[in-house]
Structure formats: C-alpha cells, structure tokens
Amino acid sequence: MQLTLVTLNTWKGEGDYPARLSAMGDLIADLHPDIVFLQEVFAVPGTEIGTAISLQRRLGFKAICHPARRKVLNFQGGPVVSTSGLAILTRFETRNARRLVLPSDPADGERIAQIAEIDPAPSRGIGLHAVNLHLTHLRDARALRQSQFAAACGAVGLTPGAPVLFAGDFNDDADRVWLEGAVGSSGREIRNGRENPGSACKSPTLIHPPQDGGPSCIDHILCAPRGVKFIEISHHGDATASDHLAVRAVIDLGE
C-alpha cells in the first residue's frame, strides 16, 4: 500500500495571512496527500481564526490539533493572544492522539510533539504511528534537538510491528550521522528519504537559507522500520505560501 505524506511549516500568522492561507490550501491540495503534518500552526483562541481549521475545511480532512507556545504576537496590524502549535490532517481514521512535552531550554520555550495512530486500511489491519515534530530553533543546540527526537522515539516505541512516520521541522540536518546521535546504540533503524540512493532531494527547504552557513534543509520525513520504502521525495511551494517549502514523500508500507 502506498501513501503520500506532506510536511509544511506554516509560518504562524506572518505576512499576508489570508492570502497565504489560500496559497497553502492550493499547494497542499495539488500534492494529493493522505497525511499532512503542519508546524507553527497559528490560531487565535476563542475565534475561528486558525491555520488548521482553515486547511481542514479546504481539504475536507480530519484534523488533530495541539496548540502550543501561547504568546502575544502582532497579527494584521495589532497584538493578539495566539498559539503556534502542531496539527495532523488526514483523510483516514485516527485514534489515541496525544501531546508529548519535549525537553526544552528556557531561551526557547515550550516544545511538544504530536503522536497519533492512523488506520489507512482498517479492514486490512494496516496501521501506523504518526509523529509530528518542531524541534528547537536555537542555533547551538544540536544535542537538545537530538534529545527531543529521542524523547519522541521513546514515547512512540519502535517495535517491529506498526510503521512509524516522523515528519516536521527539525531545525537541523537529520541525516544519518544526526540520527545515530539521537537514537544512540539502541539498534533502532530510522531512515530519511533524502538518504536513499539516487535521491536528489537535498536542497534547502528554507525559502531564505541562512547566510552564516547554518542548516537550510531542515524539514524532513523519516520512517521506521526497514519494511517501509521511500518511492519518491520532493520539495514544493514558494514564498506566497510560507517561508518553508513543503516536503512531499510517497512511501510504500510493504503490504
């Protein structure tokens, strides 16, 4: 069974938010995803203003939302109390969705992960675990990002059973060396589609890559265990939608 996955950092409520929402909806719809992982999901509590609810209506998907990082931000010319959390959109049934508090640094603030079980084909018994992540943006905090990822791995469990999909904004490379540093000697096999032989998808996912040599290919889709195969991985979008490109992956669950 093949699935199409998309991850996108939605850039909170920045810029021309209504126009960006429309562009994001068009972008994601054109990618024909089965599961969408969203980060920096802007919402104004107590109102209908929100990225997840808007995209859910546009796509007709189910939505799992976990607000985070509550603060006052400037929005369309004035201050509003807002959140910028995580959301998973999917056309499949979900269960056991939960919010995991990750290790954090006071200089950055709250970081969470989303974990949910998704059933692409309930009648065939094909289930998977989806983990949505937005790791710390602090520049010299690679060890913290690795510990945040390790905490998510520990919470979901990486057994030989159901596949696990990790997606989101890692604010880091998440290559083979990075992953080995995160999971240590546990023997867990986690793969990034960019590392597949012949993959050309190693270019920046930031619209404006950092000028100081920091990582610029920071949005990733990873999978475990060995039975899941990447068929295709690609980048999409432009600044009309977000300051990040969307990453699209087609995977084979091996069923």
Instruction: Write the CB contacts of 198 (distance below 8 Å, at least 6 apart in sequence).
Output: none
For position 1, what pLDDT does the model report? 87
Three-class secondary structure of residue 142 per DSSP: helix
- Per residue, what are the HEC states of 41-64? EEECCCCCCEHHHHHHHHHCCEEE
Q: What are 233's two structure tokens?
A: 């991985």
**Total structural domains within the chain:** 1
What is the domain extent for residue 168? 2-252
Name 56's Cβ contacts closer than 8 Å, sequence gap at least 6. Answer: 62, 63, 89
Token pair listed for 49: 């203003």
CATH code of the domain covering residue 92: 3.60.10.10
Q: Which residues of the chain have pLDDT under 70?
A: 123, 158-161, 185-187, 197-200, 202, 226, 255
Cα atoms found within 13 Å of the Cα of residue 47, Cβ hemisphere only: 10
* Residue 145, both tokens: 């990002």
Taking the C-alpha atoms of residue 210 and residue 25, their distance in angstroms, rounded to an integer, is 27
Of the candidates 158, 140, 159, 119, which has an alpha carbon nearest to the alpha carbon of residue 35? Answer: 119
pTM of the model: 0.95
Cis peptide before 120 (omega within 30 of 0): no
Rg (CA), the chain: 17
